[in-house]
Amino acid sequence: MNSDINVGIGEDSIVSNGENKLLKATGLGSCVGVFIYDKERKIGGLAHILLPRSPNHKDKKSLKYADVALNDLINDLINKGARKDNLVAKIVGGAQLYFVENDTLKIGERNIESVENILKEMQIPILGKDVGGNYGRTMEAYISDGRVRVISFKVKEKWI
């Protein structure tokens, strides 16, 4: 029984009801890590999102896109026994690591906006976030109590 699970970019979201105590997303630059948690049943899942929205093409329905990944994560949580009305979220990442003038290239900002809009549409409140800035992060989500630890080389560790 492994207690640490790392979720890579665009990989299947990982959902746990306690058999894995720590879900982790490392190297969150412009990517956004989304932890969704049923606070009553102690079931949580993590997605590591690369891009804001999937193109309208059946072959492009990859979990690297916010809309696809969050839909998949919610379905996985419900299939594991979570109740939709108990779900809450915490989001980390969405940095702008390099200067760009073109808004289209501000992927971090666009990822944050997309994740926030999708969660709002799904009526899942965001209880905590550490987003934006110009530095990368690692996100550790604890299934036992729903806490998220944010680690970065540039700023002090924090809990959300």
Catalytic residues: 31
Using DSSP bridges, classify how beta strands 87-93 and 32-38 pair: parallel, antiparallel or unpaired. antiparallel
Judge contact between 140 and 24, C-beta under 8 A: yes
Task: Classify the C-alpha dihedral 94-98-103-104 as positive or negative.
Answer: negative
CA 125/CA 121 separation, integer angstroms? 10
Judge contact between 14 and 48, C-beta under 8 A: no
Residues 6 or more apart whose CB falls under 8 angstroms from that of 34 comprise 46, 47, 49, 66, 69, 70, 73, 89, 90, 91, 115, 119
